[in-house]
Amino acid sequence: MVGRRWAFNITCLFSAAFGLGLGGCNTYNAFLVVTAFIGFGVGGNIPIDTTICLEFIPQNKRFLLALLSIFQPIGVVICSAIAYGFIPKYSCDPNFSEENPLISCNDPEAVPGQPCCGKSNNMGWRYLMFTMGAITLGVFFLRFVVFNFRESPKFLVYRGQDEKAIGVLEHIAKTNKRPCGVSLADFEALTAESDSQTSGEELLGTGAKQLKASWGTKIKVELARYKLLFKDFQMARLTILVWLTYICDFWGFTLAGTYLPAILAIKNGAIQVTLTETYRSYMAIYCPGIVAVVIGSMMYKVPIIGRQLTMIISSGLMATSIFIYATVNTQAANIGLNMMEYFFQSMFNAVLYGWTPEVFAAPIRGTACGVASFWGRLFGILAPITAQSLIPKEGLDSLAINQVLYLAGGLTFGCVLTIALMPRNMLGKQSM
């Protein structure tokens, strides 16, 4: 079967290739298809990133798993800087944030001979897509060609590839200039984890036995992993609440993320803030997210607060900032509340993405993270669809803006409830 290493690289290639293709879209349907493939690439990377990272880092360095999320706000800041350079300069005039913006030349209501917004004078967002696609393609090249990326020994052992696992351990030891200290004989004796949440009987069919098994047996073993997510009441409760957390999180922040740029531009336009100033403010809004990830990772070793309370507080404050944003409209408030929302969103997601693979045992870790991410991505897709019913045909107005923000804030508050209901005896468990 395809290993995580190849899945890791293939999904990155999808993001890069279709990111470049997005800049060339001329029709709405093509835009949707290409965006879907970009989502496929991004969605495939996130659960693999965290599970592989967890299986490589030492037990006392688990905070690095949450710190891995720091590259998300860094990437957003870079993207905002590129957008600031392209979009205000290469957009139609008047643009969508100003009064009486130009109608699209592709709009059926466009009158021939009248000024309209065409591709030639609206290349800013396309230049942005071309640039981001090229950067992602460069990352794919570094990951696939330059860096010698390897599977984790744990994954290889559970797939019965002991010799490859030894090779990875020897590579790690060589990199750290230390002797390996583990032989193939040691791996042959390893059949299950003594500290796993699952028993040796439940892991029957893994390890070296998989090499001799038929494809039918291998498929049954893989399907059996899903049963382990519901093996008892506590595990079923944990699994369902994790799913609901990802659903509320992705639904809420995708809804906010989809409309916040347009909402910010419209609000700023109403108070005579230019599109250039709007995109410049994005960098100020997203930079604190870098600090938020660092703070979230530091909470790992704070006994009184810990990960559960950190997620409850951050998701609650994220939702609160969205609600307040719906009630005010000044330049300072628009920047400050958007900054607050993204700050706590970054903190919450850093802890959530780091905690999820830890709480599930190694044999089902990838399955658990992948399914949770699936539910999150699915409802992230549904988020704009649900909000669209609140928006009139004429576009966003003050009433529709508030309704969208209230919906996003309410859904985000759902994370507070789901995290609070998590079984406490499993929240601090760190599966090896």
For the stretch 224-245, pLDDT in tens is 778 888 888 888 999 999 999 9
The arithmetic mean of pLDDT across residues 200-221, rounded, is: 57
Query: Are 369 and 431 contacting, i.e. CB atoms less than 8 angstroms apart?
Result: no
CATH of region 4-148+231-427: 1.20.1250.20
pLDDT at 214: 67
- CA distances (Å), origin 388, targets 267, 363, 375, 401: 19, 40, 20, 11
pTM: 0.73
List CB contacts of 373: < 8 A, sequence separation 6 or more. Answer: 43, 46, 47, 246
Copy the structure tokens of residue 386: 């649900």
Could you read off the pLDDT of 23-59 as tens digits, one per residue?
A: 555 554 555 555 556 655 555 566 667 677 777 777 6
Least confident of 93-97, 180-184, 386-390, 395-399: 395-399
Q: Average pLDDT over the chain, rounded to whole?
A: 76
Domain residue spans in the chain? Answer: 4-148+231-427, 153-219
Residue 298 has pLDDT above 60, yes or no: yes
